[in-house]
Amino acid sequence: MTTQSRATLADVARLAGVSSKTVSRVFADAGNVSAETRERVLGSAKRLRFRPNNLARNLRRGGVTNTVAFVIGDLTNPFYFTVAAGIERELALHGLTMVLASTDDSPDSEERVVDALLAQRVRALVLIPIADDQSYLDGERQLGTPVVSVDRPARNLIADSVVLQNRVGVAEAVRSLTAIGHRKIGFLSNPAGIYTQRERLAGYRDALREVGVTETAHWERLDDDPSVSAEYSVRSLLALADPPTAIVAGNNRGSAGAVRVLRDLDPPVAFIGFDDFELADALGISVVAYDPIELGRTAARLALGHLADPDSFTTQVEIPTRLIQRGSGEIPPPA
């Protein structure tokens, strides 16, 4: 099959019987073109299926595009795509579009991916930080490009951020377990080193300290190695001489792995996961939930706010969490 070449601006000019400069003025919506000429140029462009290169035109003028970049981590994580949907919906209300890129959760690739997007003159950058340092963005921020971090604050950079009430959410989950008698509560965290997991671990420890439990290390499974599965971590907890009577998972992937191990256990072990997930309601899994769409919408609003007022102050917004009790987290400890 022979691929037909794309029509050029010169092709449109030739068909319309005008100069290339006139075609450029039509697509730039300049006012010094007659209605008859404009109609003839647009008709010729439609016949040739010609589309102007708006990106190139903007770059030549030193301008920016009508796109906002969203840089995520792992493309297989459904959390990122739900947040992206919120960003996209909010931007659409203002005539902007979103371009998505992934760092594949690699700190080493973050700056390279971000630089490639900034080279396209995006209007704003929304970022889920993966690297330990975002100071490389300070120059771009000073040039007027709004930068908003999502899920975790940017480090060494003055920027807006939208985060969850991670510490509060896990503390609420653990308190619901201690309220029905649990004291031996396990906690799963992987990757343990990132901001969200550190905050959730702190909430777990806070709530246990409230009931006098201060030694928790033997019930904590804190890993940064992605090859360590949640199933392995749960089994290692259950193999302890004094195993936990309840387990809390720090994210959706931890929840999925834990449920595979715990679902047929007798006697049952209480379980609460952080992040709602598909089929959690059908399986009766108690979770700490939040609105990821609102997380994305809020990030977009912050970026739009800085576009409207470049001198506005930076802020950190916390999206609330809520405990949804469906049964798995309401199992009391053995008598």
Mean predicted lDDT score pLDDT of the chain? 92
**What mean pLDDT is predicted for residues 291-298?**
98
Mean pLDDT of 304-319: 93
Residue 129: pLDDT over 80: yes
- Domain ranges for the chain: 9-52, 67-164+292-320, 166-290
Residue 300 above 80 pLDDT?
A: yes
Tell me yes or no: is domain 9-52 CATH 1.10.3720.10.
Answer: no
- 67-164+292-320 has which fold? Rossmann fold (3.40.50)
Distances (CA, A) of 275 to 173, 251, 262, 304, 334: 12, 6, 18, 27, 27
Q: Do domains 67-164+292-320 and 166-290 have the same CATH topology?
A: yes
Gyration radius from the chain CA atoms: 26
Confidence of residue 56 (pLDDT cuts 50, 70, 90): low
Band of pLDDT at residue 277, cut at 50, 70 and 90 = confident
- Cβ contact 126:143 at 8 Å: no
The hierarchical CATH code for the domain 166-290 is 3.40.50.2300
pLDDT interval class at 50 (50, 70, 90) = confident
pLDDT-based confidence at 94, cuts 50/70/90? very high
Residue in 80, 78, 150 with CA at minimum distance from that of residue 298: 150
Q: pTM for this structure? A: 0.82
Tell whether the model's pLDDT for residue 55 goes beyond 70.
no
Residue 249: how many CB atoms within 10 A of its CB?
32
Higher pLDDT, 323 or 61: 323
Whether the CB-CB separation of 286 and 279 falls below 8 Å is answered with no
Question: 335 CB contacts (<8 Å, ≥6 apart)?
Answer: none
pLDDT at 51: 76
